[in-house]
Amino acid sequence: MTEQLAIMEEAARRAGELMREASQRKIRIDAKEGHANFVTEVDRKVQDLLFSFLSERIPKAHFLGEEEGKDVFSERDTEGLTFVIDPIDGTSNFMKGYFPSVTSIGLLRDGVPYLGVVYNPWSGQLFSAEAGKGAFENGIPIHTDTAPLSESLVAMGTGPYYPGLPDIAFSLAADYITRCIDIRRSGSAAWDLCMVASGRTGMYFEPKIQLWDYCAGALIAQEAGGRVTDFDGAPLSFRGPSSVVAASSGIAGEGGYLPRTAR
Ligand code: IPD
Ligand code: CA
Ligand code: CA
């Protein structure tokens, strides 16, 4: 394992400790822009912890994170190392004591995904990947499922913060549900990508998510043998928001899995 990946894993575990501690007490919650979009004091604290822990150990890296106005990808992020962080992915789950909520840490090298870590502090599952070196769950190699769509679960994201996107997501779900075992909605895009990576689901789709939602998880799913693209089948930009569809090797191999309506 590269030293940088070990540092990211340690950072994610510390973030998880903070989340677990905070779940024992009442926390402050603020509204953000968009429908039912919230940020808690813990999202901010976890982001601060990750920025300071990682910048002490990898001082040359740039930082991009969901909270506190640190969320804009710029030209400087196309060179050298840039951390892309979602301190808590699944904030509404976290607020409600519903699972999962995870910490997602991606690392871009010259604008290209290089390392990724997604940690679920409630289950202790840590997913990781290094470009070209495979994907792991708690250190054990993982692979996407080989089953066809008809024998797979499909996870959806509902695009909750953006007007019009839930309609698109649910019309796509209505189509997929006729072709798969059933639909799931976890509340965390990073987790959904790890579930495809580890073969528990066959697919995940969502009409629009942000760079910090997919940066680490998309690398993990790809390194596990999955195909991760936008709804048109084009590679993800790793620059900003995108539609995302992730498919196992079994489903991608069959073809015909890209969203067929409401593109
Ligand atoms: C959200 C979650 C959710 C997805 C949303 C994301 P947040 O992230 O990943 O599953 O549907 O699109 O924004 O707000 O909990 O960090
Ligand atoms: Ca998120
Ligand atoms: Ca978040």
8 Å CB contact between 228 and 251: no
For residue 35, the model assigns a pLDDT of 80
- How high is the pLDDT of residue 186? 98
Q: DSSP class of residue 236?
A: P
| pLDDT for res 30 | 82
Query: What spacing in Å lies between the alpha carbon of 244 and ligand 1's midpoint?
Result: 13
Pocket test for ligand 1, best of 209, 242, 245 (most atoms within 8 A of CB): 209
Give the model's pLDDT for residue 263. 45
Ligand 1 atom with the smallest distance to the CA of 86 is 16
Report CA 190 to chain centroid distance, whole Å: 2
What's the mean pLDDT when you consider all of the chain?
95
Task: For residue range 133-145, list pLDDT tens digits in order.
Answer: 999 999 999 999 9
Q: What is the mean pLDDT of the segment spanning 129-154? A: 98
| Whole-angstrom distance, CA of residue 55 vs CA of residue 82 | 11
| Model confidence at 253: pLDDT above 80 | yes
Summarize pLDDT for 20-48 with one digit per residue, the tens. 999 988 888 888 877 878 888 999 999 99
Q: Which residues lie below 8 Å from residue 262, measured CB to CB, with a gap of 6+?
A: 167, 168, 171, 172
Question: pLDDT band for position 176 (50/70/90)?
Answer: very high
71-114 tens-digit pLDDT? 889 999 999 999 999 999 999 999 999 999 999 999 999 999 99
Distance CA 258, CA 194 (A): 19
> Which backbone phi and psi does 7 adopt, to 5 degrees?
-65, -40
